[in-house]
Structure 1
Amino acid sequence: MGDWRVPGYSELRVLGEGAQGRVVLARHDGTGRPAAIKYLAARFANDAEFRERFRGEADLLRRLHHPFVARMYGLVETPAGAAIVMEAVDGASLKAVLAESGPLAPEAALAVLKGSLLGLAAAHDLGIVHRDYKPANVIVRGDGCSKLIDFGVAVEAGEAGRSGTPVYMAPEQWRGEPASPATDVYAATCVFFECVTGRRPYTAEDQAGLMGRHLTAPIPVADVPEPLRPLIHRGLAKSAWDRPLGAAAFVTELESAAAGAYGPDWESRGVRALAGATAALALLFPLSALGFGSGGAGAGGAGAAGTAGAAGGSGGAGAGTAGTATAGKGVLGALGAKGAAAVAGGVVVAAAAGGAAVYVADAKEKPKPKPIVAALSALNEPRKDIGGGVTLQARGQVVTVTGGKPALVRKIDQALRSPLEQRWATTVKGLAGGAGRGAYTDVVKPTILLRNDRLLSVWYTVSLQGERGTGWDHSPAVTVDLRTGAALRPFDLFRVPTEQGIAPLDSKIKAHLPHGTYCWSDMGSGAGPFQPHGTDNPSAFVKSGDVSMALAPAGLRVAFYGAVLGYASACGEEDATVPYAEVKDMIKPNLLAAVPYPRPSHS
């Protein structure tokens, strides 16, 4: 099993090797064209989870077409192994360039950062976060242009985890929080800092110390030239909310800073400088060393083999265009004449003797409908004049989706925004009623609680900035049915959607609050702690909108202000998650079946 190779290719040299597999440079036997082949490690060949991850990476690369990202030609699977056939980029890693040349000129550092950001932006447009941007994953060609590689740990925006390379990981990655495009912005800024200074922004003797530096250490802006300091300050902000919202937004800031500091021709000078820094490594370029061509070859040449060549076609496909594989040629032909090929959803699928499956992008076919993908989008509501000198605006982020049918996407986006619209309407009414003075800004920070092919739950943390009292920051929330685009209000989650029907929830909420009570105070009147009293019936305030509910991975999340139940305003907002095991007889069966809880036998 460990000796399995993609049929029709001869391995030339190993380009890289890691715990999950290896990447080799190979030559197609029929055409002589080069390709990079990423093999799943043999020990994972029978691991269903690793196979699925590998397919996920291939699916992402199949959808990602951009000049600054190495292209995918095909996915090959057999019972003995799996491999992704990709564009072979002739050049040296940015890691090798920095090791050879030391710090880069500012223009060169800006040029490589811009190229990488454009590649990352293409991924962000698909709702994907790379999570492992680092110098080793950027290949610089002999002409100074670069390509982004290795999406092995990429995830959809909003997924949590600590995958990545520690020295470039954003604070939210260290904390295991959801990744967003701003996570990649942080890593790219770390690399940019390294390109300019020759060292990483944060170092430590051990991983715990490194984590502490990324989480709390001051941003080392003084170590870079003054014109670049705003970029470093923004890109390395500890909070993702204080960074550019994505790579595309950061490119805009970069271009403005670069042109202002280094003139309108900064990019051409930067690319030339980068090419010069790479020239010293030309003998190490994998394709040039084997006689395929120069490191500055354009797309379709040796440095970036055309898709038809890598897939074994006749070579008629142009740069960036996928050529259709034909019988007797390339990967499909190498599987033998007994293989049966069919076109399905924009991918040529070939089933061959022995259980092999090959997927090769076919530009002539319509692509599959894109899956619905959730991501964070900028929120910048214009300031509204309420009257009497009182104004209100909203900023921050909101969750939106892409993919699927346009009408459904619009409906889902409206549903995701609906709890905020309701909040703003209530806020305007309250401020206009005499409670407001001056300018107010509602700052919104969303968290994706639950996401699968059926449901999307979002929790909004809000903060009304301005002259105000307490009780204005109740957290809106929503669960959306992705099949219909409908927003599921709290009552919509229950079998019996009435105040009486959900009344049993009151005691369950109380049991999962701190100290098992709706409001606790340790400030007594001299006789020790005391516990104030209220109505203890949040179910009575669901209809009025004073209680937020959403489906979360661990259970039903509920939040409301203690003052709603008659407690002192100092009690603040109560927030609890009731496990599904305790509410399984209350939640609608079809919803319970769509959350991470075993389907009850009676449903």
Structure 2
Amino acid sequence: MGDWRVSGFTEVLELGRGGQGRVVLARHDTAGTPVAIKYVSAGDREPLRHEARMLGTVESPHVARLYRLVESDEGVALIMEAVEGVTLREVLARHGELAPEAALVVLKGSLLGLAAAHTVGVVHRDYKPSNVMVPADGRSKLIDFGVAVAAGAASASGTPAYMAPEQWRGETVTPATDVYAATCVFFECVTGRRPFAGAGGHLSEEPPVADVAEPLRPLVAAGLAKDAAGRPASASAFVEELERVAEETYGDGWEDRGVRALAGAAVALAALFPLAAAGIGTGGAAGGAAGAAAAAGGAGAGGGAAAGGSAAGSAGSASAGFLAKVGGAKAIAAAGGTAAVVAASGGVAAWQAGDDGPPPRAFTPGEVTLASETIGDPSVNLAEGTVRFVRVSGHSDPAVQQRINTALHAPVDQAVADYRRFLAQAGGLGNQAVPGPARPIEMRSEVLYRGPRLLSVRYLVTVPVYAGGGRYITPKAVNIELATGRVLGPEQIFTAAALSEPKLAELSRRVPPPPADPAGGLECDYRTLTERTELAAEPLTGVSFSLTKDRLATMFTPDEHCIAYEYFKPNAVPYAQIEDLIRPEALELATATTPP
């Protein structure tokens, strides 16, 4: 299918592209409403029509909405709610495991959304962290019913890390299949890792319930039962049991605390919010994020959060023209006016510039300077220390400048969140006796590249770890498009094929770590990207990727016994050696010699 477009909308950004089609962020030409549009390569269209009709009856605040299914001779398009926020995958990658209350809130919201779909006879079949959006208000939304099927159908599709045993065997899928996947994600939220490594684990290994707190073990055991009949009878029934366990274990305020913690985690990543970054929201998204940040008292700290601010609710105000026949194409209205969204894997937060979007307007990038900030909190045993970070001043667009500086400050916010997490793991939070002497957070900053369109900064962040009295050092890369404030992480730098399974083999071969280095008689080694894939839930964790003028600069975290600054060695690969693995738009930003 070619890149055809539904008339009546202006594309702003391409959010993703894959084997099933592409997803774009667009604006309705008359109403100005932001939407996501998925263009699908559909051979037999009747199943897609049937799915849209069924999902059209879903009414749930935990499920994003499908507004229209549009058909033309060139293909099928689904016009959907554009959800402002970040994916749960992004939250877990940046913050690690969640507090139990926050993990329970994620599970509850997802189960409620799944239950709404199950009621109309639809099984999601591919529930995973990248299909859960976390807005600034901390109340998650379920997206991506792109491989959904009617309950009772056979299916072997899904994401292996979260597939139920019956999916591995190609058997009938039921609501219990989604319950299994949701429990896998819940386990990952509370432990920081997936419950099983592969098909063998899902098919034969006992659920690793000992890895979670004792009160939560019955939930994990029930949700991960090998036999679908042994799992909760429905997602709704599982919610009832979840609420009972949560209230008995964490008290009446467990849900409010969990929502606030999720809001803080999302706001810490506000630079990734696509509508705010693209400048096409109603203003509520950015305002809601700012309000949540102020109320939370710091990113990821688990303080209060302002509700709202999501662009999700604005789409209902679309004009009559939006609901009418679109450009002569045949449009099928979703019954009841709401339905689940069909989105690209990774959600609308993992977006990149589209080749056909409007060109960025002329801008003055301003000056790049170093700033300092004193951070410390005696109440949690964090000694005062001065951290240095990069900021931009004098940009011609104040809103873009704010987005840029939010992204440049994000490693500071993340360091504070990591500190609190490490302290909690050591038993320090909530106790008067905090382990060990107070120590500060440290940060080293380096501007690697300041081009006409791109700013690339690398941080080396040190956070005290009270379990064992050590420290956690990690490299952080911040690549920012100066015209828009868009952040380019690995998903926006590398092609989807380069990041695909199995094991990132080609990328790992061509982007190697530095050679091993002797350290006091010990061999300080660096795991390759392939090895990281085998050992971690997020294979790119602990590696920074920085775009410079003519090469990709990297920094790999060494083995644990070599955590010292001298073993964090920069490395670089010329673009000529990896050009086919990098997205063309990212390469263009890095190598441009003039502003847009």
1:261 match: 249
Matched AA of 1:58: A
2:201 match: 213
For residues 247-269 of structure 1, the C-alpha deviation after alignment (integer angstroms, 9 at most, x for no partner) is 10100110001001100110000
User: How far 1:55 sits from its partner (Å)?
Assistant: 2.1
User: How far 1:120 sits from its partner (Å)?
Assistant: 0.4
2:137 match: 143
User: How far 1:60 sits from its partner (Å)?
Assistant: 3.0
**Distance in 2, Cα, partners of 1:27 & 1:153:** 26
- Work out whether residues 33 and 305 of structure 1, in 8 Å CA contact, stay in contact via their aligned partners in 2: no
Is 1:330 aligned to residue 322 of structure 2? yes
Residues 138 and 289 of structure 1: CA distance in aligned 2, closer, same or farther (over 3 Å): same
**Distance in 2, Cα, partners of 1:75 & 1:120:** 21
For residues 164-221 of structure 1, the C-alpha deviation after alignment (integer angstroms, 9 at most, x for no partner) is 1111001111111111111111000000000000100001xxxxxx211111111100
Matched AA of 1:2: G
Is 1:280 aligned to residue 280 of structure 2? no
User: How far 1:53 sits from its partner (Å)?
Assistant: 3.4
**Distance in 1, Cα, partners of 2:278 & 2:337:** 33
Q: Which residue, out of 331, 334, 351, partners 1:358?
A: 331
**DSSP 3-state at the match of 2:324:** helix
Is 1:169 aligned to residue 157 of structure 2? no
1:590 match: none
- Work out whether residues 193 and 200 of structure 1, in 8 Å CA contact, stay in contact via their aligned partners in 2: yes
1:92 match: 86
User: How far 1:306 sits from its partner (Å)?
Assistant: 3.9
What pairs with 1:105-254 in structure 2 (closer than 5 Å)? 105-203=99-197, 210-254=198-242
Matched AA of 2:145: F
User: How far 1:300 sits from its partner (Å)?
Assistant: 9.9
- Work out whether residues 156 and 170 of structure 2, in 8 Å CA contact, stay in contact via their aligned partners in 1: yes
Matched AA of 2:218: P
- Work out whether residues 8 and 331 of structure 1, in 8 Å CA contact, stay in contact via their aligned partners in 2: no
**Distance in 2, Cα, partners of 1:253 & 1:306:** 34
For residues 214-261 of structure 1, the C-alpha deviation after alignment (integer angstroms, 9 at most, x for no partner) is 111111001011111110011101111111011101001100010011
Residues 154 and 363 of structure 1: CA distance in aligned 2, closer, same or farther (over 3 Å): closer
**Distance in 1, Cα, partners of 2:207 & 2:274:** 38
**Distance in 1, Cα, partners of 2:336 & 2:203:** 45
Q: Which residue, out of 269, 282, 290, partners 2:278?
A: 290
**Distance in 1, Cα, partners of 2:213 & 2:335:** 47
For residues 325-376 of structure 1, the C-alpha deviation after alignment (integer angstroms, 9 at most, x for no partner) is 3xxx2363652xxxxxxxxxxxxxxxx3xxx2012247599x9xxxxxxxxx
**Distance in 1, Cα, partners of 2:109 & 2:313:** 20
**Distance in 2, Cα, partners of 1:279 & 1:9:** 29
- Work out whether residues 57 and 152 of structure 1, in 8 Å CA contact, stay in contact via their aligned partners in 2: no
**DSSP 3-state at the match of 1:164:** coil
- Work out whether residues 135 and 191 of structure 1, in 8 Å CA contact, stay in contact via their aligned partners in 2: yes
**DSSP 3-state at the match of 2:2:** coil
Matched AA of 2:93: A
Aligned residues: 319
**Distance in 2, Cα, partners of 1:166 & 1:109:** 21
Matched AA of 1:359: I
Superposition CA RMSD, Å:
2.3
User: How far 1:128 sits from its partner (Å)?
Assistant: 1.6
1:551 match: none
Name structure 1 gaps, 5 residues minimum.
Answer: 204-209, 314-324, 336-351, 368-603
Name structure 2 gaps, 5 residues minimum.
Answer: 290-305, 340-596
- Work out whether residues 299 and 306 of structure 1, in 8 Å CA contact, stay in contact via their aligned partners in 2: no
- Work out whether residues 74 and 85 of structure 1, in 8 Å CA contact, stay in contact via their aligned partners in 2: yes
1:13 match: 13
User: How far 1:17 sits from its partner (Å)?
Assistant: 2.3
Matched AA of 1:129: V
Matched AA of 2:258: G
**Distance in 1, Cα, partners of 2:160 & 2:325:** 43
Matched AA of 2:221: H
- Work out whether residues 142 and 294 of structure 1, in 8 Å CA contact, stay in contact via their aligned partners in 2: no
What pairs with 1:562-581 in structure 2 (closer than 5 Å)? none
1:303 match: 311
For residues 419-457 of structure 1, the C-alpha deviation after alignment (integer angstroms, 9 at most, x for no partner) is xxxxxxxxxxxxxxxxxxxxxxxxxxxxxxxxxxxxxxx
Instruction: Name the TM-score, length of structure 1 as normaliser.
Output: 0.51
Q: Which residue, out of 64, 69, 89, partners 1:70?
A: 64
**Distance in 2, Cα, partners of 1:261 & 1:15:** 40
1:515 match: none
**DSSP 3-state at the match of 1:63:** coil
**Distance in 2, Cα, partners of 1:364 & 1:29:** 20
For residues 68-124 of structure 1, the C-alpha deviation after alignment (integer angstroms, 9 at most, x for no partner) is 000111111110121010111100010111001100000000001100000000011
- Work out whether residues 28 and 330 of structure 1, in 8 Å CA contact, stay in contact via their aligned partners in 2: yes
Matched AA of 2:31: T
**DSSP 3-state at the match of 2:255:** helix
What pairs with 1:460-539 in structure 2 (closer than 5 Å)? none
Instruction: Name the TM-score, length of structure 2 as normaliser.
Output: 0.51
User: How far 1:301 sits from its partner (Å)?
Assistant: 7.0
- Work out whether residues 325 and 331 of structure 2, in 8 Å CA contact, stay in contact via their aligned partners in 1: no
Residues 119 and 306 of structure 1: CA distance in aligned 2, closer, same or farther (over 3 Å): same
Matched AA of 1:39: Y
For the pair shown, the structure with the greater C-alpha radius of gyration is 1
**DSSP 3-state at the match of 2:64:** coil
Is 1:271 aligned to residue 271 of structure 2? no
**Distance in 2, Cα, partners of 1:279 & 1:363:** 32
